[in-house]
Amino acid sequence: MTTDATQTTDATQTTDTAATGTTAQATPTQAGDAGGQALLRLENVHTYYGHIHALKGISLTVGRQEIVTLIGSNGAGKTTTLKTISGLLRARVGSVVFDGDDISTVSAHELVARGIGHAPEGRRIFSRLTVLENLQMGGFTRNSSEIREDLGRVMELFPRLKERQHQKGGTLSGGEQQMLAIGRALMSRPRVLLLDEPSLGLAPILVQQIFSIIAEINQQGTTILLVEQNALQALKVANRGYVLQTGNIILADTAANLAANEQVRQAYLGEI
């Protein structure tokens, strides 16, 4: 397959330039690999915060139309992985391949136009802009008729946002802000949507609602990479999952297998 060929050359190029030479660090298991149709592929990614080695050789794939989840405890590197994909952080070693192109050095704002949407941790909505303006910002890379069309689509998905469209973002409740953050990310018509802790701080009923919306977005054709502390819910909605621990992937499998895995159940699903 042609995409495979380009991906392999990309990988060899980057490993050539990588000084450390940690080339053939195999993924723990190939069981859940998306295979040749991968939309997004991370190859041996190392990311640093100054001297702190946050990601120590992450390799993962996200296939078209999939929901893939990253689970792990605080500080495992989940958010760092998403930020490395969306260009807010740079991989020092390794590469991020999106739809066959190496995007490791493409700046964050250009990646939005290429189809990477990122709803960051903590929602990060623009509190002094109105709900409508927040959504318009989400469609920043698109023209006004496309924005108008998608405003309708997002407001249908989140009727609450339509009611509150002229309110300032900062006046919304936590759940509404989360809906706004997801809706805003959808406004760019992402091909892959990176969601960072969408259920954080929400009441259980809202958590349910957010997860059903995630499933709905996926059914409408958007690939999703989901970072969650709420591993139980995440594994219910996802096709596959990766377990991160201190910057490494320690497990990769289908969501069903992970949910049944003894180690995962003990460490992340709150079972003792």
Partner 1 sequence: MELSVLVQQFFNALTLGSIYALIALGYTMVYGIIELINFAHGDVFMVGAFTAFWLLTVPLALHGSVDNPVLLAGILLLIFTVVMVFMGIVGVVIERFAYRPLRNAPRLAPLLTAIGVSFILQNIIQVVFGSSPRRTPQIFGNDARFDLLGASISFRGVFIFLLALGLIFALQAFVGRTRLGRAMRSTAQDREAAQLMGVNINRTIAITFFIGSALAGAGGVVYGLHFGQIGFTIGFSAGLKAFTAAVLGGIGNTTGAALGGFFIGFVEVYSGQFGLFRWSEALVFAVLILVLVFRPSGLLGQPLTERA
**Alpha helices in the chain, H assignment, sequence order:** 2-17, 78-86, 108-114, 131-138, 144-157, 159-163, 174-186, 204-219, 231-237, 255-260, 262-268
Dihedral angle of Cα 200, 78, 179, 217, to the nearest 10 degrees:
-130
Residue closer to partner 1 (CB basis): 128 or 166: 128
Residue 40 in the binding site for partner 1 (CB under 8 A): no
Site size toward partner 1, by CB under 8 A: 36
Contact pick of 41, 78, 184, 189 for partner 1 (by CB under 8 A): 184
Contact pick of 22, 141, 245, 246 for partner 1 (by CB under 8 A): 141
Residue closer to partner 1 (CB basis): 46 or 184: 184
Name the minimum Å distance from CB 111 to partner 1: 8
Burial class (CB within 10 angstroms; exposed 0-12, middle 13-18, buried 19+) of 219: exposed
Residue 172 in the binding site for partner 1 (CB under 8 A): yes
Residue 120 in the binding site for partner 1 (CB under 8 A): yes
Residue 105 in the binding site for partner 1 (CB under 8 A): no
Contact pick of 113, 163, 212, 220 for partner 1 (by CB under 8 A): 113
Q: How far apart are CA 196 and CA 182, in angstroms?
A: 10
Residue 140 in the binding site for partner 1 (CB under 8 A): yes
Contact pick of 3, 65, 101, 126 for partner 1 (by CB under 8 A): 126
Residue 125 in the binding site for partner 1 (CB under 8 A): yes
Q: How far apart are CA 70 and CA 64, in angstroms?
A: 17
Structure tokens at 46: 């190392």
Residue 206 in the binding site for partner 1 (CB under 8 A): no
Q: How far apart are CA 40 and CA 8, in angstroms?
A: 14
Residue 230 in the binding site for partner 1 (CB under 8 A): no
Helix (H) or strand (E) holding 119: strand 116-119
Dihedral angle of Cα 210, 79, 99, 91, to the nearest 10 degrees:
170
Residue 49 in the binding site for partner 1 (CB under 8 A): no
Residue 112 in the binding site for partner 1 (CB under 8 A): yes
Classify each residue of 95-120 as buried b or exposed e, where b means 16 or more C-beta atoms within 10 Å of its C-beta: bbbbbeebbbebeeeebbebbbbbbb
Dihedral angle of Cα 217, 269, 83, 128, to the nearest 10 degrees:
70
Q: Per-residue string for binding with partner 1, 62-101, x by CB under 8 A?
A: ------------------------xxx-------------
Name the minimum Å distance from CB 169 to partner 1: 9
- Interface residues with partner 1 (CB under 8 A)? 86-88, 107-110, 112-113, 117-118, 120, 122-129, 133, 136-138, 140-141, 168, 170-174, 177, 184-185, 188
